[in-house]
C-alpha cells in the first residue's frame, strides 16, 4: 500500500469585507474597506490547492461573514467533498437563519467541516443569543467540529464562566481569544491580573495558546512547521510561511528612510516580504521547505498559526479544524467530553 500524502495546513485570507454586524472592536474593519474578494480567483486557487501532492486542512479567514457569500459557501462545500481534503473550517458570527445554515450543512460533508462560531453577545439581543445557541446545537448534532469563540475582555470573566459551562454541557469547545489593546486606558494582554491569569488557560482552551497568546512566549529559534507543512495564503494567491511575515518589524534602514521619504519604508517592506515569499499558488510550483525550520519571529500571536509550532505535534493532536488541538495524554477524556473531536488521520 502506498504511503498517504502528507498533510498541509493552509490559512487562507479572503478579504470578503462584508458583515451582518458592526462590532466596534472588529479587527477586519469591514465598514472601512472595499470588498476585494474575487470569486474567479477564489475558484482558481481552490483548483490549484487540490492539484498539490498533499492532503489539506484549510482554514478560511473570511474577514467578514461567510453566510453573506454564496460563492464562498459553495467553495467550502466543494472542498469538504474532495477526497484530498481532511478538513475545511471558517469563522462566522452565526447570525444567519436556521434555514440558511441548515441548507449549507445539507450540501457539505459535515464530517470534514469546522466552524468557529464567534459569540458577539454585546452586539446582539438576548433573544439572538438564544438563537445562536440553538444553531450551535443543531450544527453539533451534524458532527461538525465547531467551537464557540469569544474575546476575553477583562470585564467579561463572569460571562465566560457561564458560556463555558453551558457549552461543556453541550460537548462544544469554548475558545476565547486574548483581549488585545487598551481597556480603560491599560494595555492588554499585559494587564490581566494574577487571578485572571489563573483562569485564562481554561478559557483559551490549551495551555499552549495561553503561553503564546497571553504570556507572549518568544518562539524565536524554536522549530516550526511554517513553510514546511503550514502556509499562509493571501487572497491573490501569494504564499507566505505564516501570517507574521506580513508585518515584519522595521529594519534600521527603514526607520532612517522614513525620515527622508514616507513611501520608501513601505516599498522596502514589500520587497522584504516578497523576498521571503514562497511564490504564488496561481502561477508557481509549490516548493516548500524540506523540514521544519527555526522561527525567525519574536512572537506568534494568532491562534491558527500558533498550532504550526513543531512542539504542538508532540503534545497535542491536531484536528480537521485548524484552531482546535487537544492534549495527547488526555485524549480519551477530551473525546468523551467533546464527541466531535478526533485526531487527523496519520497526522505525523
What are 301's three cell numbers? 500571536
Asked if 89 and 115 touch (Cβ cutoff 8 Å), the reply is yes
Query: Is 23 an interacting residue with respect to ligand SF4 (CB under 6 A)?
Result: yes
Helices (H), 28-114: 39-50, 70-80, 98-107
End-to-end C-alpha distance for the chain, whole angstroms = 18
Residues 110-139 that bind ligand SF4 (CB under 6 A): 120
Nearer to ligand SF4, 150 or 203 (CB): 150
**C-alpha to C-alpha distance for 176 and 53, rounded to whole angstroms:** 34
| Options 5-13, 134-142, 246-254, 300-308: segment touching ligand SF4 (CB under 6 A) | 300-308
Query: Is 305 an interacting residue with respect to ligand SF4 (CB under 6 A)?
Result: yes
Query: 60: Cβ–Cβ under 8 A, 6 or more apart, which residues?
Result: 12, 14, 66, 72, 76, 88, 89, 90
CB of 315 to ligand SF4, least distance (A): 15
CB of 94 to ligand SF4, least distance (A): 9
Query: Is 297 an interacting residue with respect to ligand SF4 (CB under 6 A)?
Result: yes
Query: Is 75 an interacting residue with respect to ligand SF4 (CB under 6 A)?
Result: no
Query: Is 151 an interacting residue with respect to ligand SF4 (CB under 6 A)?
Result: no
**C-alpha to C-alpha distance for 130 and 138, rounded to whole angstroms:** 13
**C-alpha to C-alpha distance for 322 and 303, rounded to whole angstroms:** 9
Asked if 175 and 323 touch (Cβ cutoff 8 Å), the reply is yes
Asked if 151 and 183 touch (Cβ cutoff 8 Å), the reply is no
**Residue 333 DSSP class:** H
Q: Which one among 94, 146, 300, 322 touches ligand SF4, defined by CB under 6 A?
A: 300
**C-alpha to C-alpha distance for 315 and 313, rounded to whole angstroms:** 6
| Options 124-132, 141-149, 274-282, 303-311: segment touching ligand SF4 (CB under 6 A) | 303-311
Nearer to ligand SF4, 219 or 237 (CB): 219
Query: Is 226 an interacting residue with respect to ligand SF4 (CB under 6 A)?
Result: yes
Query: Is 242 an interacting residue with respect to ligand SF4 (CB under 6 A)?
Result: yes
CB of 203 to ligand SF4, least distance (A): 18
What are 336's three cell numbers? 468523551
Asked if 25 and 46 touch (Cβ cutoff 8 Å), the reply is no
Q: Which one among 308, 312, 325, 341 touches ligand SF4, defined by CB under 6 A?
A: 308
Q: Which one among 14, 46, 119, 295 touches ligand SF4, defined by CB under 6 A?
A: 295
CB of 226 to ligand SF4, least distance (A): 4
CB of 333 to ligand SF4, least distance (A): 28
**C-alpha to C-alpha distance for 52 and 54, rounded to whole angstroms:** 6
Query: Is 22 an interacting residue with respect to ligand SF4 (CB under 6 A)?
Result: yes
Query: 264: Cβ–Cβ under 8 A, 6 or more apart, which residues?
Result: 254, 257, 258
Query: Is 85 an interacting residue with respect to ligand SF4 (CB under 6 A)?
Result: no
Query: Is 197 an interacting residue with respect to ligand SF4 (CB under 6 A)?
Result: no
Q: Hey, is 145 helix, strand or coil? A: strand
**C-alpha to C-alpha distance for 104 and 227, rounded to whole angstroms:** 32
Nearer to ligand SF4, 136 or 257 (CB): 136
Binding site for ligand SF4 (CB under 6 A): 19, 21-23, 26, 28, 30, 64-65, 93, 120, 219, 224, 226, 241-242, 244, 295, 297, 300, 305, 308-309
Amino acid at each position: 500500500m502506498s504511503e498517504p500524502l502528507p498533510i498541509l495546513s493552509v490559512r487562507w485570507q479572503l478579504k470578503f469585507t462584508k458583515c451582518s454586524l458592526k462590532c466596534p472592536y472588529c479587527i477586519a474593519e469591514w465598514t472601512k474597506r472595499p470588498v476585494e474578494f474575487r470569486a474567479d480567483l477564489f475558484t482558481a486557487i481552490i483548483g490549484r490547492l487540490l492539484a498539490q501532492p498533499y492532503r489539506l486542512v484549510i482554514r478560511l479567514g473570511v474577514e467578514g461573514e461567510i453566510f453573506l457569500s454564496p460563492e464562498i459557501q459553495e467553495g467550502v462545500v466543494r472542498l469538504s467533498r474532495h477526497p484530498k481534503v481532511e478538513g475545511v473550517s471558517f469563522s462566522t458570527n452565526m447570525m444567519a437563519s436556521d434555514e440558511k445554515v441548515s441548507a449549507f450543512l445539507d450540501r457539505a460533508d459535515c464530517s470534514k467541516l469546522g466552524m468557529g462560531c464567534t459569540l458577539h453577545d454585546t452586539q446582539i439581543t438576548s433573544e439572538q443569543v438564544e438563537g445562536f445557541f440553538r444553531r450551535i446545537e443543531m450544527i453539533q448534532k451534524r458532527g461538525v467540529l465547531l467551537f464557540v469563540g469569544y474575546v476575553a475582555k477583562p470585564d467579561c470573566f463572569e460571562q465566560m464562566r457561564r458560556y463555558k459551562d453551558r457549552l461543556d454541557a453541550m460537548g462544544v469547545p469554548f475558545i476565547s481569544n486574548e483581549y488585545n489593546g487598551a481597556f480603560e486606558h491599560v494595555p492588554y494582554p499585559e494587564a490581566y491580573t494574577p487571578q485572571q491569569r489563573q483562569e485564562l488557560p481554561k478559557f483559551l482552551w490549551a495551555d499552549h495558546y495561553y503561553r503564546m497568546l497571553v504570556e507572549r512566549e518568544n518562539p524565536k529559534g524554536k522549530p516550526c512547521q511554517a513553510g514546511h507543512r503550514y502556509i499562509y495564503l493571501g487572497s491573490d494567491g501569494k504564499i507566505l510561511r505564516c501570517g507574521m511575515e506580513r508585518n515584519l518589524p522595521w529594519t534600521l534602514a527603514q526607520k532612517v528612510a522614513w525620515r527622508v521619504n514616507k513611501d520608501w519604508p513601505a516599498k522596502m517592506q514589500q520587497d522584504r516580504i516578497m523576498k521571503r515569499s514562497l511564490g504564488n499558488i496561481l502561477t508557481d510550483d509549490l516548493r516548500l521547505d524540506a523540514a521544519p525550520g527555526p522561527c525567525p519571529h519574536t512572537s506568534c500571536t494568532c491562534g491558527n498559526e500558533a498550532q504550526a509550532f513543531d512542539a504542538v505535534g508532540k503534545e497535542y493532536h491536531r484536528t480537521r479544524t485548524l484552531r482546535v488541538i487537544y492534549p495527547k495524554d488526555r485524549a480519551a477524556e477530551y473525546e468523551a467530553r467533546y464527541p466531535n473531536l478526533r485526531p487527523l488521520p496519520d497526522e505525523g
